[in-house]
Every structure is written in structure tokens, then in C-alpha cells.
Structure 1
Amino acid sequence: MASTMTSASTGRWRDAFVKPSALPGFGLTMGYTILYLSLLVLIPLAALILKAGTLGLSGIVAVGVDPRVTAALRVTFGISFLAAIVNVVFGTVVAWVLARYDFTGKRLVDAAVDLPFALPTAVAGLALSSLYAPNGWLGQFFAPFGIKIAYSPIGIFIALVFIGLPFVVRTLQPVLGELDSEIEEASATLGASRLQTVTRVVLPPLVPAILTGFALAFARAIGEYGSVIFISDNLPYRSEIVPSLIVQELEQNKYAQATAIAIIMLAISFVMLLVINLIQAWSRKRMGHV
């Protein structure tokens, strides 16, 4: 009797936290998931927090309010946000072209989208810096007007756009492929203009995927280091990014300060990505997706 009551209470407790599913093996797979995430994510993050904790809360706050750190945070998150916005706009256009049109060289264009995935970031930085340097193929046309692209915040922006574009395109492309083009045709036959069809028929189902692509491109841009250090002059208070500042602290054996900067960066990133995910979940519910 006691074992039966215990099993019943255990079952009720489990049903309160786990949705019923026809698929077996939840306990085993959930245990593996927790173990895997702990080894790769949670334990390293805990070690990072413990190392930064040697400074104490006041020490971490002192590092966070340091003018050089705040300037690096402003450059990193500000330019990453702008690059993600640009990638969303042009990535949506690229994904639309690849998903809806057949043209000569389509496979070549499709493969070119993935180049930032395969290209080492250091090589990307060298290529972009040589291209946009004052004497580069493109930079030479801007130099006479006093516009400096490479070795400036503009160069950081270009590098982050370059490495973030595939995340938006590859997120949106399959969703666009699943949209029925007959809905657009029906909208047109009912008298809707092209702008109305795009804004009221095409874009609403894409909002969750657009937010996902934005989050991926933004997160990728925040942690970018290899390409930025080659196209930026890395001047403090002007074009220094947080990853570069962390590396400099490590080179000076200031491990606690470096981890404190990393913790601050991680906290800001977590809050921003959490907000994006909440907006994404809200948009999915509003559009009727589960």
C-alpha cells in the first residue's frame, strides 16, 4: 500500500513538471542532457564565477565601472547590435531570393553564404583589412574624402556583418521555403498591394525566425575576436572590444580582472538574449505557433 501511494505521488509530481509524451526514455535523455550541459557549460561558467569572486563584489563592481571597461562594453554591444540589425534586413532579402527564385548560379550564391562559417576569422580579418585599408581595393576610394574604414569602428562593423550574415540567412531560408506562395497570390487577387502582402501576409509568420536569426547573429558578434583585431586599431575608449581587453588582461596575468570583465559581459549578454527569447516566445504564441 505504501509503495503504491509513493508511486502515485511520484507520478503526480512528475506530471506536474513534465508534459505527457508517447515517446519513452525521458529520464535517461534528461539525465544525459544535464550531464552534457554541466560538463560543457555550467561547470566552466562556475569556475569563471569562482575566479572572479576572489575580487569580491566590490572589486567586480569596480572593474565594471572602470571607464576603459565601460567604453569597451559600449563599443562591443553597440556595434554588435547595429550589425545584427543590418544582417536581419539584408539576410532576409538574401534568404527570400534563395528560397523563392530559380536562377543561374543559385547554388554558387547559396554556397557563398556559408563562407564565413568555414573561413577562419583571422583570415577574414586579414582579407577585410587589406580590402578596406586606405590603399586597399575599396578603401582607396574613400580615403580622398577622409573616410577611414579599416582600423576604425566602421571596420569592426563590417567584420561583424560579415561573420553574422549566414546565421540570419540559414535561419530564415527553410521557413521561407515552407510558406505557401498561394497565400500571397490569394492576397493579391483580393486587392492587396504588394506592400500590404509583404507586411501583413509574409512578414508576420517570419517574425519568430527573424528574432532567432537576430539573436544568433548578435550573440556571434559579441564574442567575435579573430577578425576584429585585424581590421580595428584597438584603441582604448575608441575601438577596443571587450574580448581584446580580456586578452590584454590575461597577458598581464590579471586573471581575476579578466574573469570579472567576462562575467559582466556574460551577464549583459544573458539579459539581452533572454529578452529576445521572451519576445520570440510571445510572437510565436500570437501567431499560433507552438
Structure 2
Amino acid sequence: MAPRARIRWQSRQPSVIPGFGLALGVTLTWLTLIVLIPISGLLWRSSGLGWANFFALAFDERTVNALAISFGTAFVAAIVNLVFGVILAWVLVRYRFPGKRVIDAMVDLPFALPTAVAGIALTTLYAPNGWIGSLLEPLGIKIAFTPAGIVVALVFVGLPFVVRTVQPVMEEIDKEVEEAAATLGANRLQTITRVLLPGLLPAGLTGFALAFARGVGEYGSVIFIAGNLPYVSEIAPLLIVIRLEEFNYAAATAIATVMLFLSFLMLLVINTIQSWSRRRYSNGA
């Protein structure tokens, strides 16, 4: 028994990173300080309102409309970013052309650009007297100061999340896989839908979730182009700020709690679908 124990002990390789206990402790401590304590404070504050008062504040007609606009526009913008983000990542990975590095760098521009600057720039372009807005107005299309303007702003700020999530996964897919599918008789559409997209689905859903989460809480780039008209283009983060300026902390807390719950629920659903698609693709592979 002693020689076997000694052999088992010698076969273990020392790790260059801290042990599991230390790493887990640091992780839980940091997560608690940065995430759990602020969220717990919000929930504790909302619990003191009482159920009747909470529902009256959280499901006020103006609040419900603002929540619908925030989550609806964020969902639409995330879908748009998912489609065009995958296409953009495909072009950057699969093709070589002049100016490719410039376009690749421009993808990260919304990360570096202050959101307020982005909002002002988009409003200047899509306002009725702007470069693009003046061309769309004779056609009866109005972008600025409408929910469509909110979608445009959220597409702008959310595109990098999809591209940078899908691009590394796409780089790992060898061209030989596409050539093998073509050799077996698959056309281009079948190659895309049956060979490429299943492998990209988990990464695409991750980018979708990140873009959606960013869109729900976006404030700076939206308030300028939205117009902030109640029941028309007012977003929930702006309504929270308005309630705080009115010193109506109870209403602000109730709205923030509802946003937290809905965001967590939708991200949970997206992550569940993502895990399912990853397991399905792994089993199929």
C-alpha cells in the first residue's frame, strides 16, 4: 500500500496557479463585493415597499410602456446585430481585401467612443434636417425621436459584442470542412445551414445575449436620439433618472427591480438555449 501511495503522490504535477480553495475564495469574495451586495441592497430596498405599493409603482402605465420600449428595442437590435454581426465576422475571417484592418478596427469603435458622443452623432445624422434624415423624411420615414431611432443607437453600440464573440470561433473552422461538404454534394446553402451555423450557434447566442444586455441598460447613446417622449420613446433607464430627480426613490427602486428580474429571466433563457445547442453540437460532432 505504501509504494502505491508514493507513486500516486509523485504522479501529480504541481500547478502554477493557486489552489482551488484560494481561487474559489477570491472569486466568491470579488463576486460578492461587486455584484451580489449591490443587487441585494436593491432587493432589500424594494422589499420594504410592500407588495401593494411595489406593484402599484412597478406596473404603472408609464412604467410598463417604458419597460416595453426598452426590452423591445433591445431585442430587435440584438437580432439585427446577430445577423449582420455574423456576416461581418465571416467577411473579416474568410476574405482578404484592401482596408480589411481598418474595417476590423472600426468594429471596436463603439467600445472606445463615449456613448453621449455616439448619441449626438446619430441624432445629427438621423434628425429630420440631418444628412440621412433629410433623405428619409420625403419618404415618410422618421428615425430620430422614435423607437426606430432607439434601435439604430442600440445596433451601433451592440454590434462589437456579436462580431468579437463569433469571430474567434469562426477562425477555428477550417476551410477543409466547407470543401468536404461540397465534395459530398452539399450546395452553398446546405453548407451554411448544416455545417457552419450549428458550430457558430453557441457563440452567436452569447453575442446576442451580450448585445441584448447592453441594449437594455443603455442610456447615453439613446437619450439624444430617442426624444424621450412619454408613451412614445421613453426608455426605462431614463424613467429611473426622472424618478430620482423627483426624489421618488420608491418608484425608481421598483422600476430597477423589475428591470433586474426581467433581464435575469431573459438571460437565463438565452443561456439555457446556448447550453442546449452546445451539447447538441458536441454530441453531433
Would you say same fold, with TM above 0.5?
Answer: yes
User: One-letter code of the match for 1:85?
Assistant: I
Whether 2:33 is the aligned partner of 1:39: answer yes
Mapped partners of 2:51, 2:30: distance in 1? 30
Report the secondary structure of 1:237's partner residue.
coil
Which residue pairs with 1:27 in the alignment?
Answer: 21
Aligned pairs, number: 270
Say whether the 8 Å CA contact 1:54–1:256 is kept in structure 2. Answer: no
Q: Is the 8 Å Cα contact of residues 121 and 227 (structure 1) preserved in structure 2?
A: yes
Q: What amino acid maps onto 1:288 in structure 2?
A: S
Q: Which runs of 4+ in 1 moved over 3 A?
A: 21-24
Contact 2:58–2:251 (CA under 8 A) maintained in structure 1: no
d(CA) in 2 for partners of 1:132, 1:84: 20
1:126 CA displacement: 0.1
Q: Given the two structures, how large is their TM-score scaled by the length of structure 2?
A: 0.92
Residues 34-85 of structure 1: CA distance to partner in whole angstroms, max 9, x if unpaired? 1101111101111111222221122111122211011011111111100000
Match of 2:270 among 247, 252, 276: 276
Matched, 1:233 2:227: yes
Select 1:267's aligned residue among 261, 270, 273: 261
How far apart, CA to CA, are the structure 1 residues paired with 2:85 and 2:209?
13
Q: Is the partner of 1:288 in helix, strand or coil? A: helix
CA positional deviation for 1:145: 2.4
- Within the candidate set 98, 103, 114, 2:97 is matched to 103
CA distance in 2, matches of 1:191, 1:66: 58
Distance apart, 1:149 and its partner CA: 0.9
Task: Please name the residue that 1:250 is paired with.
Answer: 244
Q: C-alpha separation between the residues in 1 aligned to 2:139 and 2:191?
A: 41
Indicate if the aligned counterparts of 1:211 and 1:280 stay in contact, CA closer than 8 A: yes
Whole-angstrom CA distance in 1 between matches of 2:163 and 2:236: 27
- Kindly indicate whether the alpha-carbon contact (under 8 Å) linking 2:46 and 2:254 is maintained by their aligned counterparts in 1: yes
Distance 1:30 1:213 in 2: 27
In the TM superposition, what is the alpha-carbon distance from 1:22 to its structure 2 partner? 8.0
Distance (whole Å) between structure 2 residues aligned to residue 203 and residue 262 of structure 1? 36
Quote the Cα distance in structure 2 between the aligned partners of 1:110 and 1:90: 14
Selected match of 2:69 from 71, 75, 90: 75
Question: Secondary structure of 2:233's partner?
Answer: coil
CA distance in 1, matches of 2:194, 2:48: 54
Q: Which deviations, in whole Å up to 9, do the C-alpha atoms of 1:223-279 show, x marking residues without a partner?
A: 000010000111111111000000000001111210110000100000000000011
Residue pair 1:84, 1:217 contacting (<8 A) in 2 also: yes
Aligned AA (2:249):
Y
Identity of aligned residues (%): 63
Shift of 1:146: 2.5
Q: Which residue of 1 aligns with 2:152?
A: 158
Does the aligned pair in 1 maintain the 2:202–2:275 contact within 8 Å? yes
Q: Mean alpha-carbon deviation: is it higher for 269-278 or for 21-30?
A: 21-30
Instruction: Work out whether residues 131 and 138 of structure 1, in 8 Å CA contact, stay in contact via their aligned partners in 2.
Output: yes
- Listed one character per residue, the Cα deviations across residues 98-127 of structure 1 (whole Å, up to 9, x for unaligned) are 111111111100000000000000000000
Alpha-carbon distance in 2 for matches of 1:176, 1:22: 34
TM-score (norm 1): 0.91
- Contact preservation (8 Å) 1:134, 1:150: yes
Please give the alpha-carbon distance, in whole angstroms, between the structure 2 residues aligned to 1:247 and 1:137: 31
Amino acid at match of 2:136: F
In structure 2, C-alpha distance between the alignment counterparts of 1:75 and 1:197, rounded to whole Å: 37
SS of structure 1 residue aligned to 2:220: coil
From 126, 131, 139, the equivalent of 1:132 is 126
Secondary structure of the residue aligned to 1:91 is helix
Identify unmatched segments of 5+ residues in structure 1: 1-20
Instruction: Give 2:182's match in structure 1, choosing from 165, 171, 188.
Output: 188
* Conserved? CA contact 1:52–1:257, under 8 Å: no
The residue number in structure 2 matching 1:17 is none
Structure 1: distance between partners of 2:131 and 2:191 = 41
Paired with 1:253 and 1:181, the residues of 2 have a C-alpha distance of 60
